[in-house]
Amino acid sequence: MLLRICHTTRFEYQMPAYDSHNEVRMRPLEGANLRCLEFDLDLTPDASTVEYDDYYGNRVYGFSIHAPHPELIVAAKSLVECTPGPPSPAIPMPFGEYLLEDHARNRTEYDFLNASRHVPFSEPMRRFFWLARPDPSEDVAAYANRTVAFVRDQFVYEPGMTKVQSTADEILSVGGGVCQDFAHLTIGVLRLAGIPARYVSGYLAHAAKSKAETVGAQASHAWLEAQLPGWGWTGFDPTNGCMVDERHIRVAIGRDYSDVPPMRGVYRSHGGRQLMSVELKIDPQPELLRPIDPSSSSNQQNQQ
């Protein structure tokens, strides 16, 4: 499946901004089931960018605009190829056996096993975890699936109930939130259970040939990955109560939202308000024709 993505963020300033310094995480993250065939970052006003990978391997584009400007437009344009991957062989493992390696696992996956800015190990979080705690005989992968379904069933998806700065405690107190909140809460439960879990930001394409609404397909989306025996890092979408598939396009990974915002920055101004608007378009594209290698066998040609 080929998808063309255009993610446009526009800032309008009541008084011109200047000395603006920004970093952008909008390039799709390549993996076994996703290739980024094209990527372009259009900036208005025009500016030079510097590229680097952050601590978690996300591609970051930094840029500065020193001259006064009444608006800033950042348009990230991508062409990605998404392919469904064969599932890894599951290794059934009861929690009692899994936790025998808990100390060693905490050394190698410390960031994804402990509390973070948006995923505190607060008293409300611990009480919620107790409601969904694993049984020592329960399979680890089965527990991860059960936790995702449990979180989805307990809360409502309702934009406006939380803010981008909200922690997982917020969804517990108000009873609902958006994809960011569902991901943070599920991550907290899994970490308290001893399963490494990380936050994923990205995009969710509409399901083909489906009339059911896909929650999160209208804007940037968020989900999580849990490290499971045999499966490795495995994606779950608690907002939609399912495992991820080729429609989920990863852009960045981290401990929580604070590691992966699509754009963050600072600027100076002589006052006034800032208005931000975001537009996301994801359009399916016809399959590209690939050149045939004469030396390849017919089987190899069919697989390409």
- Looking at residue 215, what is its pLDDT? 53
Structure tokens that stand for 138 in this block? 């329960």
- Looking at residue 87, what is its pLDDT? 67
Alpha-carbon distance of 247 to 5, in angstroms, equals: 12
Contacts of residue 107, Cβ cutoff 8 Å, sequence gap at least 6? none
Q: Which residues of the chain have pLDDT under 70?
A: 86-87, 207-219, 288-304
- Looking at residue 1, what is its pLDDT? 87
DSSP states along 26-89: -SPPPBTTEEEEEEEEEEES---EEEEE-TTS-EEEEEEE-S-EEEEEEEEEEEEEE-PPPPPP
- For 285, other C-beta atoms within 10 Å of its C-beta total 13
Strand, helix or coil for residue 105:
helix
- Looking at residue 208, what is its pLDDT? 58
Residue where the block lists tokens 């969904």? 132
CATH topology of domain 95-245: C8orf32 fold (3.10.620)
Contacts of residue 302, Cβ cutoff 8 Å, sequence gap at least 6? none
Strand, helix or coil for residue 205:
coil
- Looking at residue 157, what is its pLDDT? 94
Say what the pTM is: 0.89
| CATH hierarchy code of domain 2-83+263-285 | 2.60.40.2250
Measuring CA to CA, which residue among 191, 187, 216 is closest to residue 282? 216
Could you check whether 2-83+263-285 and 95-245 share the same CATH topology? no
Task: Write out pLDDT tens, residues 158-171.
Answer: 999 999 999 999 99
Does residue 257 contact residue 222 with C-beta atoms inside 8 Å? Answer: yes
- Looking at residue 266, what is its pLDDT? 96
Q: How far apart are the first and last CA of the chain?
A: 13
- Looking at residue 210, what is its pLDDT? 45
- Looking at residue 85, what is its pLDDT? 73
What are the structural domain ranges in the chain? 2-83+263-285, 95-245
Alpha-carbon distance of 62 to 42, in angstroms, equals: 13
- Looking at residue 288, what is its pLDDT? 57
- For 124, other C-beta atoms within 10 Å of its C-beta total 16
Alpha-carbon distance of 219 to 229, in angstroms, equals: 32
Alpha-carbon distance of 278 to 284, in angstroms, equals: 20
Structure tokens that stand for 79 in this block? 């062409």
